[in-house]
Amino acid sequence: MISLPSAEDVLSALVQGHFSDLDAAQSPADVGQGRRFNSALRASLEGYADEDVFARLQQLRSRRDQDVSLPPKLAEFDVFASGDATIGDNLPGSLLYAETLTRKAWDVDDDPLLRPIRNLVVVHRLRGVSCLYGFTRFEAAPTTADGDLEDFRLAVHGAPLSLAADWLPAVEQFGEGLFIQFDETAVTEWFGRKPVRDRAAQLLAGFLLWKREHDRRSMTAERLTRCCTGSRTR
């Protein structure tokens, strides 16, 4: 799992910490009124204009109202493809900090080969957390990041780490990298070429063949499991 806060900075943290005090505000003037009668709020937001605080409050409200079930891959794309000059905050404790480069920074000569690329994002800092919640000895379970693959049945039954665990082992890692956003029109044009469509058809045929074999092995494993379990209980 990758941490992708969409507006991770000091002001966001302050507004989030006083969300209950600010949630009724409908304008920058309301923010000013709240600061006037709330000394703790006034001290926390010192140095920030009422307009900036209200704008950030609106962002947090919008994020709160969004569908939290958005698939991880789409959530990642939305953050890095936002086009914002900076994403996250450049602080030692930041979980995410990235920059969307100007086109002149990476395409000085207007190279035709680079035209299908819309944006290039330099990710300076990114947190990823991996958690172990179960295991199989023969076949790895697909993850939610694999989209439809999570609907496939395993040929073996996964085992939890414990029947009564109230915690799970996890590791936190920080890294960096590049995010390349391709132009949707250019991708659509490329996919419309006959050689590309032919190759896609070959790959799809191979995938469907694998899926049929995978499902056959899964059903066989389920029948054997039911048979062995029934034999032990009789």
Residue-range definition of the domain harbouring residue 34: 1-66
Apex 159 CA angle, 155 and 165, nearest 5: 160
**225, part of any domain:** no
Query: In angstroms, rounded to a whole number, what is the distance separating the alpha carbons of residues 82 and 64?
Result: 18
What confidence tens digit (pLDDT) does each residue in 140-177 have?
A: 555 544 444 444 455 556 677 777 778 888 888 889 99
> Please, what is the average pLDDT of the chain?
81
**31, part of any domain:** yes
Rounded to two decimals, what is the model's pTM? 0.58
Q: Is 38 helix (H, G, I), strand (E, B) or coil?
A: coil
**200, part of any domain:** no
Which of 67-71, 173-177, 220-224 holds the top average pLDDT? 173-177
**118, part of any domain:** no
pLDDT confidence band for 205 (50 / 70 / 90): very high
**105, part of any domain:** no
**166, part of any domain:** no
Region 3-20 average pLDDT: 72
Number of structural domains (the chain) is: 1
Least confident segment among 37-41, 53-57, 92-96, 219-223: 219-223
For 199, counting Cβ atoms within 10 Å of its Cβ (0-12 exposed, 13-18 middle, 19+ buried), the class is exposed
Residue 173: strand pairing partners: 128
pLDDT confidence band for 129 (50 / 70 / 90): confident
pLDDT given for residue 170 in this prediction = 86
**17, part of any domain:** yes
Which of 27-31, 65-69, 171-175, 224-228 holds the top average pLDDT? 27-31
